[in-house]
Amino acid sequence: MFERVGIIAKYADSEVRQALAATIAVLTARNCDIAIDENCASVTNDPTIRVVAEQDVVVDRDLVIAIGGDGTLLRAAKLAFPSKAVVLGVNLGRLGFLTDLSPDQVPTSLNRILDGHYITEERVVLRAEIIRDGTIVESADGLNDVVIQKWSSARLIAFDTYVDGRFVFSQRSDGMIISTPTGSTAYSLSGGGPILHPQLNAMVLVPICPHSLTNRPIVLADTATIEIVIDAEYADESRLTCDGEAMVQIRGADNIRITRHQRTVHLIHPTGHDHFANLRAKLHWGRGPC
């Protein structure tokens, strides 16, 4: 099913070496065309495997395998979603809501996936834009979330929020998380936001430590356009991040616009993947039905 495979790994260590060796063994046995990033190359000595820069691992690939935690899969997904490549995760992290396979499962489960036994899932991506004097000065994409937050001060920041051109509220807080369903089990969950099923066409606004206790999370349709204007007094103390990566410095009167990206990320899971079983295991909700 997949003949051209790219592999991205977290910073190389012994765990990466073992998981990578198992992955390459399966792909090589099937005569797949393999491309790996520099992190992978640092723990494998196979000169027959092509090494490319991380941003090029997705070029002309059918499948991209991320070896690491959810952060590694996020990097792979952000590179892959403009293309037609699908993304699979091998979990070396702590929680791993997005990464399915353990290293021990790679020989069996990866072979089954390559035989066509898998399910595909589309995940929403957010586009964040900083608009200054009517011009977009920077844009970035987030599979998990877009976050407006205080940056270099212990003081609260102040901002106004609009949805589809309609004023919603003024808020003083440490910031706000705009999360996709994918990101609802990440920073949004820590901030008191709801867990959204990954197939919901929704996004959620989660205030970070708001001064007013009546500022609660709001779930919106993912067709909404969210605009946030930060009070000029606090602009120098605020920063916008997408999946944890900071964008340019915000200035007074900048307009921050968040929309759903026209493209989606395509994740694949082994047959039998169960979202609720994953939540039970990661969040320790119990062993199963009585």
Please report, as a single letter, which amino acid is at residue 167. Answer: F
Q: Euclidean distance between the first and final Cα of the chain, in Å? A: 39
CA angle 154, 250, 222 (to 5 degrees): 100
The span from the CA of 242 to the CA of 144, in Å, is 8
The span from the CA of 28 to the CA of 260, in Å, is 38
pLDDT the model gives residue 254: 87
Residue whose structure tokens are 């994953």: 278
pTM of the model: 0.90
Report pLDDT digits (tens) over 253-287.
Answer: 889 999 999 999 999 998 888 888 888 888 888 77
Report pLDDT digits (tens) over 121-157.
Answer: 999 999 999 999 999 999 999 999 999 998 877 788 8
Residue whose structure tokens are 């990954």: 198
Phi, psi for 84 (deg, rounded to 5): -100, 5
Sign of the dihedral through C-alpha 76, 198, 62, 20:
positive
Asked if the domains at 4-116 and 125-262 fall in one CATH topology, the answer is no
Neighbours of 216 (CB within 10 A): 12
Mark the ranges of the chain whose per-residue pLDDT is less than 70: 93-95, 288-290
pLDDT the model gives residue 196: 96
pLDDT the model gives residue 85: 92
Residue 38 CB contacts under 8 Å (≥ 6 apart), including other chains: 51, 53, 54
Whether the CB-CB separation of 110 and 202 falls below 8 Å is answered with: no
pLDDT the model gives residue 198: 92
Query: What is the residue extent of each domain of the chain?
Result: 4-116, 125-262
Specify the CATH superfamily of domain 4-116: Probable inorganic polyphosphate/atp-NAD kinase; domain 1 (3.40.50.10330)
Which fold, 125-262?
Answer: Tumour Suppressor Smad4 (2.60.200)
Q: What residues are annotated to the active site? A: 70
